[in-house]
Each structure stands twice: as C-alpha cells, then as structure tokens.
Amino acid sequence: MSLPVFVTKRDGSRVSFNSEKIAVAIWKAVVAVGGSDREKANNIAKIVVEKIAERFPNQESVAVESIQDIVEEILIKEGHDKTAKAYILYRNQRELMRRTEDMVNNFEVVNQYITQEDWRVKENSNMGYSLQGMNFNIAGRVVSNYWLGRIYPKEIAEAHKSAAIHIHDLDILATYCVGWDLKQLLIEGFTGVRGKVACKPAKHFRSALGQIVNFFYTMQGEAAGAQAFSSFDTYLAPFIRYDNLSEKEVEQALQEFVFNCAVPTRVGFQCPFTNITMDLVVPKHIANDPVIIGGKAMEATYADFQKEMDLLNRAFAKVMTEGDAIGRPFTFPIPTYNITPDFDWDNPNLDSVWEMTAKYGIPYFANFVNSDMSPDDARSMCLSGSEFILVKINGKIKNTTIFELVSTFGSEGWCENKFDVQALSLNENYLVEWVPIKNFLKTRLTGLVQIRTEDGKLFKASSNHPVSVLTPQGIIEKNAKDIQLGDYLLSLKSGEGVLNKEYQKIGSYSLDEDLAFFLGYFTADGTYLKKPHSSLLSGMQFTFNALTLTNLDKIKSICLNKFNYSLKEKKDSRYNLNYGYFYNSELANLFFSNGFEKHGKVSSLIFNSPKSVINSFLEGFFAVGGYAKKQEVHINDKVLAKELVLLYSLIGKPVFFKERENSQVIRLMHKKGNLNKSELGVNCLDELVLGLNKSGMVGLASIQKYSTQTKLFKKIRQGAFYPVRVCEIIESNNTEDFFDVELERNHRFVHSLGSITHNCCRLRLDNRVLNKRGGGLFGANPLTGSIGVVTINLPRIGFLSKTEEEYFNTLSHLMDLAKDSLVIKRKTIERLTNQGLYPYSSFYLRGVKEITGSYWANHFSTIGLLGMNESLINFLGKDITSREGHAFAVKVLNFMRDKIQEYQNETGDVFNLEATPGEGTARRFAWSDKKQFPTIVVANESAFKNKNAAPYYTNSSQLPVNYTADLFKALDLQDPLQTLYTGGTVFHIFLGEKAPSKEAAKQLIKKITNNYKMPYFSLTPSFSICPIHGYISGEHEYCPICDKEN
C-alpha cells in the first residue's frame, strides 16, 4: 500500500505529503506536557503513517483533518492521554489562529464593505456607510470570530453560521440594551471610574443635559444597543425653576441637547441609540419625592413642578418638529410617551407633541390604557402603615408599626436615615442579623394586596412590593400582585443569635426567668388594683381556676423569694376561683411604668431579654389560658396576640395564629403527636413545609423531594425561616400612604408577624413571570435591559417541516440553542464586568450587584423570531392574514412563551420574547435560505424571481408589506399577536401619502389606545427631504418645488 502523494488543506489547496511534519506536531505535544523522548515521538509518527497508508490505500490525496484525527486516535490508543490532550489543544489553537489570520489578511473583507455586498453593512440601520463604519465592520468581524470560535460551542456557532438562528451583535463584546437611572445620575454625577474625569452632580439645567449627553456617548461604548432614561421630563423639570429659565432659554438648551445627541462621533460613524421616556404628568410613585438639585434633596417635591414639565415637553417637541438645518428629522433621542387611562387629551400643552407626531412620526407611544403594562412597573414597593416591623433603636429592640418608624425618623418620599436604627434581616446564609437602615420611604399609592399564609399570618403591602418566594432554585422575589395561591413564602422560625444575652432591669430587680413567668401569668389573667380616688396603683391581683390552681404555689414562691412578700389568698367558692393579692404599690407602679400594662403591646423589656426569659414569659402567659390538649390559647386583645406570635417565633417556637372578630387563637406547633386531619400542622424544628400536602404533617422526606438541591435544603434546615404556603389573597384599589425601608445589605427583612419580604431599594425582577422588559421599550426602566438577542429563522422551519410535531420539535431545538447561547453570553459579560472591561456600567450597576450578586441580573435574555408570515406560507400554504395562519401564529407564540418560562425556571435568569426588528437579519436569513433551498418562498418572491430583487423576510409576526391600506383591519389582525410578546415590540402605522393634521393624529392615537391592547406603536407619515427646500409632505422621487422652479 502506497501513501497519498498530497495533503489537501482546509482552503482546498494541496501540498506534498511529508511524514516529518507529523513527527514535529507530535513532538510539540510531547514537549507541552513535559516530555523529552524525541525517539518515542518519532515511533508514534511511524505508526500514524502506517495507519494513513492502511486507511487511504492508493489514494492521491488525504485531507489534513483526517491525518490529525488519526494522530489523536493513535496517541490515545498507545496510552499517551496527556499528550493527546495537548495535541488536541494545539490543534484547536492552530484552527483559531488560522481563522484570525484569514480574517485579518482577507482583502475581500474590505472589498465586501466598499461594494456593500456584506449583509452586515445593513444589519444596524443606525450605522452609516462610512470609513468609520468600515473600520468598525472589520474589527467586528474579528470579535464575531472570537464569539463563534472561542466562546460558543460548535453546535451554536454552526446554527448561527448556517442561518438557522441569528445571534445579534456578535461584532461587539458587550450587552445589548440598557435602561439607566436618571435620578442616580443626578444624585451622583457622571463619575465613578478611576483616572477619568469626574463630574459633580449637576446644579443647572444645561449642566444636567450636558452630563446626560456625555453619559449616553460613554455608556454606548459599553453596549451594543439602546441607552435609555425614564421620567426624563419629571426629573429635569425642577432645574428650570431653580435656574429661572424662560421658555426660549429652555428651548435653546434642548436644541443643543438634541443636536449633541445626533452627532455621529460613536465608533462606526454612529450617534448613540438613545431613548427617553416622557411622563407628561408626574407619576404617583415620584410625586412626593424631594427634587434633586446638585445631588441634594430639596424641600420641594416633584409634584410641585407640573408647570415646568409642561414647558419642557412643549419646548422639546418644538425642537424635534423643526428638525435640523434642512428640515431632516432627528433620529435620536427617540421619545416615548406613556398613555394612561387618565390621560388628558384636551391638554393644550401637548399640541406640539401631536404636531411632531403628524409631521415626522417621531415618538413611540406606550399604551397603558388597555395593555397589561404599567408605567409604575417595578416601583411602588411598600408596606401598609399598620404593619409592624422589628427594629433595634440605639441598641434597644422594639416592635413598632412602620408608620410610626418612618414618621419618627423619616419624612415624605425618600429620606436618609441619620439615626442608629437597624432592622432584622435575612442574610445569604438564611440566618437573621441586625442590619442598619439606609433610607426610609413614605409614598401614596393605589392598590393594596393582603396575603395570608397557612399558619394564619397576614400582611398588607402595595401591589408591587417584592415578596420573597421559595422555589426549588432558591429564593426569588415576586410582586405582591403576582403572588399565587400555593406559593411558598418565608416566615421567621428563629431569632437565634440576635437576642440579647443579659437580663434587663426593672428598677433594682433583674428581669430573670422567675420574674418573667410572674409577669407573663399576670399579663394573661391578672388585674391591677387601684387606690380609691387616685391614679396610683395599690397592688396586683392574680386569678386561679381549677385548671390553673397548680400555678398558685409557683407564684407564691416567686413573691416570697423575689420580693420577700407572702401572697395573700382568697377563695370564691361560688365560682370555684382562688385569688392571690400582691399589695405592693411601689412594685405595681414600677411594672406598669415599664410597659407591663396588661393590654396592648408587650413591654419592650421582654423583646430585649434573653431567649430563656422570653420563653418563661410565654410559659407564664400560656399557663393561665392555654388549653393543654390542643396546646392553644384564646386572646381577646388583638395587638397583644400579635406581639406574642412574634415572640414565639423569635425563640424558635413559631405558632399558628387565627384572627377572629372577637377572639384570637394562638396554637403551638406540635413537635410530636397526632393532629386532626383538618389542621395544617407543621413541625418547624424538623424543617417541615407547611401545607405541602393535605394530610397536615409533612416530614423531612417531603421537603427533600420538594427541594432537589441538597445545598438549598441544608440552608433551609439550618436557617432562620420556614416555608409556608399562601392560602388567601385579597386585592383592593385602596389609595393610602405606604411605607418602606432600604437596608444597607441583605435587603430581606422581618415584619408583621414574622413575614420576610424584600425592601424597595432597587428594582428586582421576578424570573417566575414573563415580565415586560422593565415596563418600557429599549429597556427604558431604570437598571433593566437585555443582555443579548437571538432570533429564530421561522421560514426555514416551515419549509422543512412536514408535520406540526416536526415544526415544534425543530423550533424547540433552536430555542434551546438560543437559550444556551444567552446563558453563555450572560456569564461571559458578567465575568468581563468583574474584570473591569465595562467600568462605567459596573459603577452604575453596583447597587444591583450588591442585592443580587451579579451586575446584569435584571437584564433579560431575549429570544426573537423572524418571518412568521413566510413560515406559515411555506408550512401551511396560507399567510398570517388567513384564519388558519393567524391561529397557528398564535399557537407558535404561545409555545415560545411557554418555553421561555421553562428557561426562567431552569436557569434562574429572566427571559423575554421579542418581535425582532429585521434590519440585516431579514436579508441574511432569506439569502441563506434561497441558496440552500431554492424553492423556499420569501416575502418578495415575485420580485426576486422576475426582477432579481434581493430576497427578504417579513419582520417578526408582522403583516405582509402593503397587505392593506385599512389601518383598523391591520390592527385587528395584529393586536392578538403583539400582546403575546414580552420584550420589544412596536407596531408601525404607515399613514401613506397624506400627512394627518395634529388633531387627526391625536384622535387616531386616542382611538388605538382606547380600543386595542397594542403595547407600543408609532405613526409613520410619508415625507421627503430636499437638500434645498427641506421637508416636503408625501413621497417624492424628485422635489416638486425644484421641478417647478426649473
């Protein structure tokens, strides 16, 4: 058998077969693992050559990959595993180097850009064809190669290369779109990066706008997509009054701002992709906050500046309506206006907004009238004022209402805590500790949710208050309005480690276990004796019935030993009662003045006592009214009952609590023994999940089954809370004052009867619900956005699938690849952020990092789709406007939503579903598919066949281009589809040749928001721009004014 004469290289070229090159490659692998036997390397090379001759007999040429495969095979077979691993690594490195060299040395890269043959030239509609665009394109090819060759596994890379999916923004090693917190910028200034210019917080309107421009340009350098600010007009309006600016001066400042935002100085000859959300009316959740000027809170609140907001919105719309020097519209910043149910359509201050819309169609409109979104998404996270919170003030533990706490140490809106006040907090090890309160919040909100758990405990919170929920993946936060029956909440099981170790003092007496029992018994069934005609007390009376008579001797003993006093006894045979009288005016008044008042709150001395003292106090109380068999006590005093419930939890003996109109029931949780099946018992000391099944008691095995993660189970078992199931939810539209706190760390705190929920310091998104992207387009809400986007090629699925089962199997597989790629990207971006690659992002996201443990936890992993219409045509033979096609489109979107929910549960990351803007992807998918599958139908099939037009697919699940001139027919078809997306989706309403009047534009928007659930939409009138005469209404190939003049 003869050896091949040639070796075929990867580029198709051929070189002479040379066995010495094989020996050299093996020797390099041997050296890499510390080997030194060159002769052995040569012998292995001989075996490889023999195997080549055997496998490719009398063959003229053999592929280089085949030779390398044989080398790996022989190395492993001969027992040289380490050498084989080194060879494989060397082979991969050489492959990566070849790709990079090909990328850098390939002159066609430049030529393809210059001739605009590369689809990437048009992938981003914001990037102009230019020298800087070419430079960015070339650099982007290298970065893209890095993603596909180094970061992503082969299957994902191949899926992208084959155009089965499209991984967006491969040309930049960064996240996608980001919503920033404008209030944070106004408080901190543009700063935070060592060695870079630091700006103090802006004191003036122009300074604030200048910092925003610099912020946009700088942050755009750390992200691929949109940079967004919410409540732009709300936060900037106060500067106008403080600077005493006229409307003309405001207009000039905003004109400078808009022109500065439009300068193409970004890499790639682009301006930043910017979005600003206008509130128009001060939002309720901001209204009572103190305004920020120069980084400091002023006395005035944002509610006081509606007049300035109106002025700002008039001036901004006027600037945008005028356009640039030749009447060309400004592309950025894109303003988004929130349309709420109480929107004032007759407000003359908005005339300029309608004029801008009618002329250019610049704004996007967010529909909060009929959609399931809210402009207050992820805000308004507070508790009702009547809820109790356990705090430590100047080292003393106190159980107080959150209303009393905030009223004492805070004020309206956000207020910094300047006192020694701490809250009981759950840390990352699931143990409780005292943590300083950083800020207090008081705000007025609409929407109250009352949540009761199966241990009888109830708390009241605002709709968006983040509630901690236990899942098999760990603890997550859900808004109160999204809590469901059966969710597992957290309830305090033990305050081990946070209680005081030393006895408290009552006068000269130590509040030890005996005195605590004495006072507990008295609180349950004692009476203060009063002196006639005096406010002073003369003594104390104890009552003993037949069941509690055994306690008489213990009380007598305590009186004698503690106070050197013999208790006076009296028997009432009529009622079979015994009375004990303690005639000591000084002690009675001492006990009363120290909080042992018999009714209402328990003395704070008990809360500040050691665990053994609290336990004795509770034993004394239970010794009076406790039903021994049922282990329960009935109490008329509701406030007192709630205090006792919390004390039981603090000492590791949580109880059932039943709140009734006239009497409250506290039932001890049995450690052993049978319970009635009607009861929902739980042995918290053995870490049983309350209400997990209907039989009542739940064993250790059940929670092990419930929590598949051993580490999580151990943390719960050793932790300070127990999981308890939600059994009742009551929602109402009450408008009232709500309160909350922000902790310095941990951010989960104990309140009410031991409930543990999250404070409202920063946005925390729930990954159990398909959230709208931060409540806004382009990640507009503060500190949210998207980590990356992957789009699925639906037309190819439709073309290749023969059955519905095959269609959904293929879609599922591609979505799995998209999910895996986004998980990898999230980890990569997070790692690079920790390494300092995005210094400004890490500074302004440090609060999210502190709470969640990662910078990008609030940013979605986004999956999109393209070509739904063509997918239906290729699969069903009918388009999206048909009944069958429309129904199948709904089915596909719901399938994708369900898959995304699975991904959230699986990964713990937040995902959303986006209507991908086609841009270059629509063309890339269509070109690739036409090359591989010539008979596949594209959107412009006729033009492709007859006019050699470039093929493309329809965006997302949009209607075919030019399908209908009937706007409302289009809305009727699109409305059910648009509302199924949970990420970016915009319905562009093309108005044709005749531009509407500002009144017509306003009425059209009003009709859409009142009759459709469409979350986002824009009006797109037709207009032309003449270099000489500027703006001309309608579509014109040639300027009609120029034609007339010439």
- 115-141 tens-digit pLDDT: 666 555 555 545 556 666 666 667 777
Would you give the end-to-end CA distance of the chain in angstroms? 84
By C-alpha distance, which of 491, 503, 422 is closest to 453?
491
Query: Residue 765: is its pLDDT beyond 60?
Result: no
Highest averaged pLDDT of the listed ranges 87-101, 577-591, 981-995: 577-591
SS3 of residue 581 by DSSP: strand
SS3 of residue 829 by DSSP: helix
By C-alpha distance, which of 177, 378, 274 is closest to 864?
177
Helix (H) or strand (E) holding 158: helix 154-161
Helix (H) or strand (E) holding 786: strand 784-793
33 domain residue, yes or no:
yes
Q: Which residues pair with 339 in a beta bridge?
A: 367
Query: Residue 315: is its pLDDT beyond 90?
Result: yes
Query: Residue 861: is its pLDDT beyond 90?
Result: yes
Whether 754 and 871 share a structural domain: no
Look at the block and give the residue holding tokens 């790709």: 99
Mean pLDDT along residues 442-446: 78
Higher-confidence residue of 671 and 822: namely: 822
SS3 of residue 470 by DSSP: strand
Query: Residue 188: is its pLDDT beyond 90?
Result: yes
- Judged by average pLDDT, the poorest of 94-103, 305-314, 736-745 is 94-103
Whether 240 and 147 share a structural domain: no
138 domain residue, yes or no:
yes
Cα–Cα–Cα angle for 459, 461, 465, nearest 5°?
125
Higher-confidence residue of 123 and 27: namely: 27
pLDDT classification of 585: cutoffs 50, 70, 90: very high
607 domain residue, yes or no:
no
Between CA 306 and CA 313 the distance in angstroms is 11
pLDDT score of 989: 76
Which token pair is 93? 């490195």
Query: Residue 51: is its pLDDT beyond 80?
Result: yes
Q: Is 204 left (phi over 0), alpha (psi -120 to 50) or beta?
A: beta
Whether 257 and 350 share a structural domain: yes
Between CA 830 and CA 649 the distance in angstroms is 39
Between CA 233 and CA 62 the distance in angstroms is 69
234 domain residue, yes or no:
yes
Which token pair is 719? 């932790």
The string of DSSP letters for 514-578 reads: HHHHHHHHHHHHEEEEE-TTSSSEEEEEEEE-TTTGGGHHHHHHHHHHHHS-PPEEEEETTTTEE
Whether 811 and 856 share a structural domain: yes
- Judged by average pLDDT, the poorest of 289-293, 457-461, 592-596, 756-760 is 756-760
Cβ-proximal residues to 964 (8 Å cutoff; 6+ apart), any chain: 970
pLDDT score of 767: 42
Question: Range of 911's domain?
Answer: 155-169+772-961
311 domain residue, yes or no:
yes
Whether 337 and 462 share a structural domain: no
pLDDT classification of 736: cutoffs 50, 70, 90: confident
Higher-confidence residue of 439 and 500: namely: 500
Model confidence pLDDT, tens digit, residues 485-514? 999 999 999 998 899 999 999 999 999 999
pLDDT classification of 697: cutoffs 50, 70, 90: very low
Query: Residue 74: is its pLDDT beyond 80?
Result: yes
| Residue 153 DSSP class | -
919 domain residue, yes or no:
yes
Look at the block and give the residue holding tokens 């999956």: 863
Query: Residue 771: is its pLDDT beyond 50?
Result: no
Mean pLDDT along residues 412-438: 88
pLDDT classification of 679: cutoffs 50, 70, 90: very low
- pTM recorded for the entire structure: 0.60
Model confidence pLDDT, tens digit, residues 240-258? 999 999 999 999 999 999 9
Which token pair is 38? 């060159």
Whether 125 and 205 share a structural domain: no
Whether 162 and 188 share a structural domain: no
pLDDT classification of 698: cutoffs 50, 70, 90: very low
Which token pair is 695? 């039989």
Higher-confidence residue of 500 and 851: namely: 500
Q: Which residues pair with 668 in a beta bridge?
A: 655
SS3 of residue 817 by DSSP: helix
Which token pair is 303? 């509610």
Query: Residue 886: is its pLDDT beyond 70?
Result: yes
- Judged by average pLDDT, the poorest of 411-425, 503-517, 669-683, 771-785 is 669-683
708 domain residue, yes or no:
no
CB atoms inside a 10 Å sphere around CB 724: 28
Whether 112 and 76 share a structural domain: no
Mean pLDDT along residues 10-26: 81
Query: Residue 672: is its pLDDT beyond 90?
Result: no
Single residue among 961, 990, 1009 that ends a domain in this structure:
961
Model confidence pLDDT, tens digit, residues 780-832? 456 788 999 999 999 999 999 999 999 999 999 999 999 999 999 999 999 99
pLDDT score of 705: 46
Query: Residue 696: is its pLDDT beyond 70?
Result: no
CB 458 within 8 A of CB 451: yes
By C-alpha distance, which of 769, 756, 750, 758 is closest to 724?
756
Between CA 870 and CA 138 the distance in angstroms is 32
CB atoms inside a 10 Å sphere around CB 595: 16
Mean pLDDT of the chain: 83
Cα–Cα–Cα angle for 514, 520, 522, nearest 5°?
105
567 domain residue, yes or no:
no
Higher-confidence residue of 113 and 400: namely: 400
Highest averaged pLDDT of the listed ranges 321-335, 664-678, 775-789, 825-839: 825-839
CB atoms inside a 10 Å sphere around CB 787: 27
Whether 35 and 115 share a structural domain: no
Model confidence pLDDT, tens digit, residues 1018-1035? 887 766 666 666 666 666
Number of domains in the chain: 5
Single residue among 909, 937, 961 that ends a domain in this structure:
961
Phi, psi for residue 336 in degrees, rounded to 5: -115, 130
Whether 331 and 399 share a structural domain: no
Whether 880 and 813 share a structural domain: yes
Whether 823 and 911 share a structural domain: yes
- Judged by average pLDDT, the poorest of 14-28, 69-83, 348-362, 773-787 is 773-787
Percent of the chain clearing pLDDT 90 (strictly above): 45
Single residue among 916, 944, 961 that ends a domain in this structure:
961
By C-alpha distance, which of 58, 60, 170 is closest to 119?
170
CB 645 within 8 A of CB 753: yes
- Judged by average pLDDT, the poorest of 186-195, 197-206, 399-408, 915-924 is 915-924
pLDDT classification of 113: cutoffs 50, 70, 90: low
pLDDT score of 601: 87
pLDDT score of 685: 30
